[in-house]
Amino acid sequence: MNLQIKHEENNGIHYLLLAGEVDAYTAPKLKEVLVPLTEVENVQIIIDLQHIEYMDSTGLGIFVGALKSTKKNESTLKLRGMTDRVRRLFEITGLTEVMDIDNEVKGEAR
């Protein structure tokens, strides 16, 4: 599987819609798009994960790095639309305690 990334910017808010898988193979593509956004001061980044079917620890690492970068640059990062499976990964690793994650949980990707 591959990773599709749709990036839109509206009134200084960056929206990323991700679809597919975030793993060791596709993470560099995500990092290439996400990291430059996190290095800009005072921006808001919202990432929609409702179409992510699979994520591994490499993907989690990208989000941890993005969170650190946004905090350093006084920006915000919000994740939304996680499937139950992806949300469990964030819960198991404790990332739900430190990241802004929309409470609306989507059902399993079919």
Domains belonging to the chain, first-starting first, are 3-101 (3.30.750.24)
CA-to-CA dists, residue 79 to 9, 12, 20, 39, angstroms: 16, 17, 16, 17
pTM for the whole structure: 0.89
The one-digit pLDDT tens for each residue of the chain (110 residues) are 699 999 999 988 999 999 999 999 999 999 999 999 999 999 999 999 999 999 999 999 999 999 999 999 999 999 999 999 999 999 999 999 999 998 654 544 33
pLDDT at 104: 56
CA-to-CA dists, residue 28 to 13, 62, 83, 92, 94, angstroms: 23, 9, 22, 23, 23
pLDDT at 51: 96
pLDDT at 110: 32
Locate 19 and state its tokens: 């679809």
CA distance 84 to 68: 25
Which residues, including other chains, have CB under 8 Å from residue 72's CB and lie 6 or more apart? Answer: none
